[in-house]
Structure 1
Amino acid sequence: MKVLVPVKRVVDYNVKVRVKSDGTGVDIANVKMSMNPFDEIAVEEAVRLKEKGAVTEVIAVSCGVTQCQETLRTAMAIGADRAILVETAADVELQPLAVAKLLKALVDKEGPSLVILGKQAIDDDCNQTGQMLAALTGMPQGTFASKVEVAGDKVNVTREVDGGLETVALSLPAVVTTDLRLNEPRYVTLPNIMKAKKKPLDVVKPADLGVDVTPRIKTLKVSEPPKRGAGVKVPDVATLVTKLKTEAKVI
């Protein structure tokens, strides 16, 4: 069984994000970039399924600039067998629908039985690509997965919902998006990093896949959240309750 794992290159989660002075977006110049944490969980899950014998091949996919090859090498260091980069120019804004169309073209080409991807990227928090891909391909989907089990021609996905946990059985091929509690990604060792450099990495263009990646949504403005105001000290509980009622209006 073949598994496709899309991964995205994002600003590292430890970096304090800065907004450009003109408000057109986030400043990524000289900023550390890394794999989206949810996608890292997806790669780990795919590799674990391979180690259990349920999967025969894990293919990592990324869409973006040339530097995304570094992210794909990280995925292969975790355990992916090969990688595909859909390369775009630096001035091209890839939005969820365009990425879903690119992934759909790769699904048609590679024929995976399972697509595992992070539920969202930490840069835009859209949480759309997995659902859009499932709609475009006609595959069943299991989102926010906290447990994944492959059983024959089905995959059982335990989902995190408001009321607790929900388990659904999906017929393969299927799309699964990962939540934080699915697993904890392994530490990437230096020997595996060196091995990843020898694994195959194919580069294609959106035009090669017959996909138009023109943005459908225009970002009007990006701004930083308002700074948190200073706190105040109160002499007693009664004053605190009064302020919560009259000023904060939370009780």
Structure 2
Amino acid sequence: MTTTLITGANKSLGLETARRLIEAGHTVYAGMRDLANGDAARALGARAIQLDVTDQTSVDAALASLPELDVLVNNAGILGSSFGVDDLNAETMQDVLDTNVLGIVRVVQAALPLLRRSAHPVVVNVSSGVGWPRFLSTEGHDEFPVPAVPYAASKAAVIALTVQYAKNLPTFRINASDPGYTATDFNGHGGHQTVVEGTDATVALALVAPDGPTGEFHNRYGRIEY
């Protein structure tokens, strides 16, 4: 049996990822800040656990409660409150980085002892095309009109830390996924993809074979080339 932990799994992309991995036969632990919001995850058969990626004590307690771990999906993230330059300051930047980047580091570092005991350790970091400079700077891409600095910078950092973790842990499969412009709370459900489509890359990377890719960035169509 494959044991999987998904952060931010109480709704949207995280919840759909949980549903699909349970369907694939995984035992899924659904991490969330407030267990009162865990009914949807429990209804799927996931095991809800309290996990706030911005709180080291919460992260440590959540990982300590797991009997084993094979797959870690770092899905938790926030959009932030700055959407241009005039409303940007160090505090709004720090808030986003604390969740979207440092949150991943906290969880991965706490998960390493369990993952190292797995025969096939896998990590998927949910990033975004908004963190890919080529998409941000090319007209016609969904990402091009996005002006927000903190979110884009945080997702670029997620891609970089994914590559670096993969280099440092060559026996792991560690990749980043781009959900694409998916209808979620982030965009007022204005995205043109369904949550099923938005989780295609994450689920595929969570199910990657031991000889599969590592240190790569994928969307639902495959690897995003540099």
Normalised by the size of structure 2, how large is the TM-score?
0.42
The structure having more radius of gyration, on CA atoms, is 1
Q: 1 or 2, which has the higher strand percentage?
A: 1
Higher relative CO (Cα under 8 Å, sequence separation at least 6) belongs to: 1
Q: 1 or 2, which has the higher helix percentage?
A: 2
Normalised by the size of structure 1, how large is the TM-score?
0.38
